[in-house]
Chain A
């Protein structure tokens, strides 16, 4: 059997796995009956339905001829990693990790870090340019969020505030 649309094949697979996961998880909760629905009733129903839809999509991808190859294409690993990393860095720097005693470093530090990490995910990384961009963005966000909108965000590292 040949996969005729790999996009649909993996979509179907994704739906099936997630649907079965939810349905299986629902069996941990009380299911109940229609007149007395337990917490597991609705998710079990939806999960099963999703798995069935996934199966149908999967079947279609194997049976129905599509125009063109409908291939997924290459995966942009570099942006995936660096954008995710930038986001995590933001969380750590602004919120700190109280559970393991990492103090917060404030919004300004986070913006500079995020700008550098995220920019590294693109194909054109120029240190000087990114540096200027980081400063501009820090100033812009300070003006907008801290100064104008007064969001409750720490702007500076914990050791600089009182």
Chain B
């Protein structure tokens, strides 16, 4: 019953015309940018962040969540229609989705993705609403040692579930942590690694670094490639609605995907990508019914399962951020950054101090999902047209958007110089096949990790074993170790390598 009263607070906040408008605008803009290949959700969010600066915190978060889902969703549309996954979560959708499109069944494939995502989004929103309170109560019994171990687990999760080789991801996480330490030390006030530049005393902004690495790095890399022919699919749709038979195949796949995605999404590492791969692997194992095409040749289950999974994961990955204040992936780190711009410190306190914001955001997730179905299915033609816009018109606009975004955070040109530097670093990362996403997470966790470790060790008189003797802390570290062991096992390694090769 408590849940209902909470949700009604949320509906009260989210159902105001203004916030509905921002949710709509977020979904629209997110999809718009998300359908562009090579621009994943993190880049989309940093690019569109400035559009939310002037808004009220609640509206800003609602719009950002909309942008995130839109980006996610736009990626699957292009995966099906033109075999170009807009983001890594829809890489597996290409296999069956594009085959279906080639067989003239693009309509049902898109509908399966849309309806599957909507259903799983609804379920995952309920999971989020139901788990938020108990989990945030858990957060209150956490001491510094527990927080430190939780962050270690989060980083290990990000390393494992991300793409890229493990050792290089460890390196890039450490690099992020170190960059996060730049600026004045909270304890002693000593300015670290600032080279006497006053702007660096407050540290390097997360958005600035993310903008450089995701925004500029990708533009430079795209310009360096030869313009590849875009295979725009032009054959007409024969209706959007799946047949009865399609529904019969799709429903169980959606249910399985929802379950998998909701569970994997909560894991540290924000398993949006991995959950779609896992869902596809499961669908492959399920025996074929009579008359069903094998997976990989245009089976609707191969679209519905992964799409349901990645959308469910996209919702539940908010759980650790909202309840513990700990982001689990690059996108969540950016959401945290955006919250801090609006002076909100996410964590268990948000629930008690700012329930309107919390429940409003949760309800708006559901609204966002509904909007995406309404928005995307009729507008598919428009999204496809967008793909025919030449890149040479697109990238100057992206450069300008990023520049305005960076400059308007603090109205200081120093950030503009820094973003140039990180743009070059982003390109270096792409050239060296270093996956940048874990770095963003490290960046935001650098200071809190140091602070919690420091406090834990002060209490324990410098005895490191405190991390292993306190039960919750020990459990968290054990899970981290277990994850490492599992990932080195051959079967999961294959999935990871496949994910890395394609995304």
Task: Show the binding face of A for B, using Cβ within 8 Å.
Answer: 7-8, 10-11, 14-15, 18-19, 22, 25-26, 29-30, 33-39, 41-43, 46-47, 49-50, 53-54, 56-57, 60, 72-76, 78-80, 83-84, 86-88, 90-92, 94-97, 107, 110-111, 114-115, 118-119, 121-124, 129-130, 133-134, 137, 140-141, 144-145, 149-153
B495 on the A face (CB < 8 A): no
- Asked whether, in the complex, the Cβ of B188 is within 8 Å of the Cβ of A133, the reply is no
Q: Which residues of B contact A35 (CB under 8 A)?
A: 457-458, 460-463
Give Cα distance in the complex from A37 to B451, angstroms. 10
Q: Which residues of A contact B187 (CB under 8 A)?
A: 37, 39
Count of chain A to chain B residue pairs whose CB atoms are closer than 8 Å in the complex: 204
Say yes or no: A47-B178 contact (C-beta < 8 A), given A94-B413, A95-B407.
yes
- Asked whether, in the complex, the Cβ of B413 is within 8 Å of the Cβ of A19, the reply is no
7 interchain residue pairs of minimum CB distance: A76-B224, A35-B462, A91-B416, A95-B413, A34-B462, A79-B223, A39-B185
Give Cα distance in the complex from A125 to B135, angstroms. 55
Q: Can you add 7 more A-B contacts, CB < 8 Å, to A50-B171, A76-B427?
A: A35-B460, A36-B458, A46-B174, A83-B219, A92-B413, A141-B400, A151-B408
- Asked whether, in the complex, the Cβ of B53 is within 8 Å of the Cβ of A11, the reply is no
Which residue of B is nearest A121, CB measured? B223
Instruction: Sample 12 A-B pairs with CB under 8 A, ordered by A number.
Output: A7-B432, A8-B165, A30-B188, A33-B462, A42-B449, A50-B175, A72-B431, A76-B427, A79-B223, A91-B403, A95-B413, A119-B392
Question: From residue B367, how far is it (CB to closest CB) to chain A in Å?
Answer: 22
Which residue of A is nearest B54, CB measured? A149
Q: Which residues of B contact A79 (CB under 8 A)?
A: 219-220, 223-224
Contact of B400 among A19, A39, A115 (CB under 8 A): A115
- Asked whether, in the complex, the Cβ of B188 is within 8 Å of the Cβ of A34, the reply is no
Which residue of A is nearest B187, CB measured? A39
Give Cα distance in the complex from A34 to B458, angstroms. 8
Which one, B292-300, B417-425, B469-477, is touching chain A?
B417-425
Say yes or no: A50-B464 contact (C-beta < 8 A), given A25-B193, A57-B168.
no
Give Cα distance in the complex from A110 to B193, angstroms. 32
B453 on the A face (CB < 8 A): yes
- Asked whether, in the complex, the Cβ of B50 is within 8 Å of the Cβ of A151, the reply is yes
Give Cα distance in the complex from A84 to B217, angstroms. 10
Question: From residue A30, how far is it (CB to closest CB) to chain B in Å?
Answer: 7
Q: Which residues of B contact A41 (CB under 8 A)?
A: 454
Q: Which residues of A contact B412 (CB under 8 A)?
A: 95
Which among B174, B417, B458 has the greatest number of chain A C-beta atoms within 10 A? Answer: B174
Give Cα distance in the complex from A133 to B175, angstroms. 38
Q: Which residues of A contact B167 (CB under 8 A)?
A: 53, 56-57, 60
Question: From residue A130, how far is it (CB to closest CB) to chain B in Å?
Answer: 8
- Asked whether, in the complex, the Cβ of A8 is within 8 Å of the Cβ of B224, the reply is no
- Asked whether, in the complex, the Cβ of B407 is within 8 Å of the Cβ of A50, the reply is no
Give Cα distance in the complex from A89 to B462, angstroms. 50
CB within 8 Å of A: which B440-488 residues: 449-450, 453-454, 457-458, 460-464
Q: Which residues of A contact B464 (CB under 8 A)?
A: 34
Contact of A87 among B216, B408, B454 (CB under 8 A): B216
- Asked whether, in the complex, the Cβ of B432 is within 8 Å of the Cβ of A90, the reply is no
- Asked whether, in the complex, the Cβ of A87 is within 8 Å of the Cβ of B223, the reply is no
- Asked whether, in the complex, the Cβ of A11 is within 8 Å of the Cβ of B432, the reply is yes
CB within 8 Å of A: which B114-164 residues: none
Say yes or no: A151-B432 contact (C-beta < 8 A), given A37-B454, A43-B178, A91-B416.
no
Give Cα distance in the complex from A115 to B393, angstroms. 9
- Asked whether, in the complex, the Cβ of A114 is within 8 Å of the Cβ of B400, the reply is yes
Give Cα distance in the complex from A50 to B190, angstroms. 23
Q: Which residues of A contact B416 (CB under 8 A)?
A: 87-88, 90-91, 95
Q: Which residues of A contact B286 (CB under 8 A)?
A: none
